[in-house]
Amino acid sequence: MKVIVDEDDTPFVALALEMQAFFWTRDEKLKNHLYKMGFSHFFEPT
């Protein structure tokens, strides 16, 4: 199974990485893919 992530998300993920900032998204498919790729710096609102 190939996971396809929306390319429009790329600049936002890149910016979070560059600024060492938390990434805030409600897109669970994207979060799961990023977790698998080693990214785990997500903002989780309470």
- According to the model, what pLDDT value does residue 45 have? 86
How far apart CA 6 and CA 21 sit, in angstroms, is 20
- According to the model, what pLDDT value does residue 3 have? 58
pLDDT tens-digit map of 1-46 = 565 678 899 999 999 999 999 999 999 999 999 999 999 999 998 8
Look up the pTM and report it. 0.76
Strand partners, 42: 23
- According to the model, what pLDDT value does residue 6 have? 84
Cα pseudo-dihedral 13, 35, 32, 3, rounded to 10? 80
Residues sharing a CB contact under 8 Å with residue 24, sequence separation 6 or more, in sequence order = 42, 43, 45
Q: Yes or no: say if 22 and 42 are a contact pair by the CB < 8 Å rule.
A: yes
